[in-house]
């Protein structure tokens, strides 16, 4: 702000403005104060950034940070696949070895998380600019800045909650009990909240501006199906968590 004010004063002093010159300081004084009031390079970078936001399509801009978090989601999926590999370990119960591998009950829990992570990955792949670049979308949407930032930040928030889930599942495998049960349940609740907000914005403001009506219907149907499958995946994981906790409690009680 100070940089712009000083620059405006200098423009007036050099008679480059149509507004009257009302007692502005001498040119040399203004030039001397300009670097002291703000960093010119920083101000120019801000101006370039503002121009950049005007030139590029809005949906392109909100996805500038999607790439790293999409890679992060791939990493979490790979981590879950590693967690799900069963170790060959048996428990000694009384004077006999249990006929079931120690982590068999966990494997049911771990496998129930796979659909959830795959659906999460699929969502961002489906609505990335690269996937929709053939739809000739308008340059601007009618979203507010607040709504644009919700979409901009969505992958980062989802990535964090997914990492909380894989951490909780990893802890369950190592310790043989759901020590991070509340962490997992909270992450699932936040995932549902974030995705609901994001999918609503995409449906209302992104799908609706696709010129082709058939494509609009396709994406609306796809979103409806995805939301249904996502809700089922969350319910299945919560149920698997409940069963795992009950089975481990029974196993501990038999020792």
> pLDDT 10s per residue in the chain (255 long)?
555 566 666 556 556 556 555 555 554 544 555 455 555 666 666 666 566 566 667 888 888 889 999 999 999 999 999 988 866 544 444 434 444 444 667 788 889 999 999 999 999 999 987 767 666 778 888 999 999 999 999 999 999 999 999 999 988 887 777 778 889 999 999 999 999 999 999 999 999 988 888 999 999 999 999 999 999 999 999 999 998 888 766 665 555
Alpha carbon distance 232, 157 (integer Å): 21
Query: Are the C-beta atoms of residues 140 and 103 closer than 8 Å to each other?
Result: no
Alpha carbon distance 119, 113 (integer Å): 10
Distance of CA 65 to the CA centre of its chain: 9
Query: For the whole model, what pTM was predicted?
Result: 0.73
Tokens, residue 125: 């792949």
Fold of the CATH domain 57-254: I/LWEQ domain (1.20.1410)
Domain chopping of the chain, boundaries: 2-53, 57-254
Tokens, residue 89: 């370990």
């Amino acid at each position: 702000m100070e940089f712009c004010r000083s620059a405006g004063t200098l423009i007036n002093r050099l008679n480059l403005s149509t507004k009257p010159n009302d007692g502005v300081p001498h040119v040399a004084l203004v030039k001397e104060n300009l670097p002291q009031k703000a960093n010119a390079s920083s101000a120019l970078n801000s101006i370039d950034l503002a121009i950049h936001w005007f030139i590029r399509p809005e949906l392109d801009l909100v996805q500038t940070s999607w790439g790293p978090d999409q890679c992060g989601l791939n990493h979490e999926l790979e981590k879950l696949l590693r967690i799900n590999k069963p170790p060959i370990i048996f428990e000694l119960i009384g004077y006999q070895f249990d006929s079931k591998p120690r982590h068999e009950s966990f494997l049911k829990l771990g496998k129930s998380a796979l659909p959830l992570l795959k659906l999460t990955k699929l969502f961002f792949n489906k609505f990335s600019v690269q996937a929709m670049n053939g739809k000739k979308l308008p340059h601007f949407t009618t979203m507010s800045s607040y709504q644009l930032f919700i979409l901009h930040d969505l992958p980062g928030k989802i990535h964090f909650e997914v990492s909380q889930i894989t951490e909780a599942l990893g802890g369950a495998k190592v310790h043989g009990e759901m020590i991070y049960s509340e962490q997992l349940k909270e992450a699932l609740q936040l995932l549902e909240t974030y995705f609901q907000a994001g999918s609503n914005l995409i449906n209302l403001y992104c799908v609706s501006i696709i010129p082709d009506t058939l494509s609009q219907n396709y994406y609306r149907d796809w979103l409806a199906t995805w939301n249904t499958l996502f809700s089922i995946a969350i319910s299945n994981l919560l149920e698997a968590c409940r069963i795992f906790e009950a089975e481990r409690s029974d196993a501990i009680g038999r020792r």
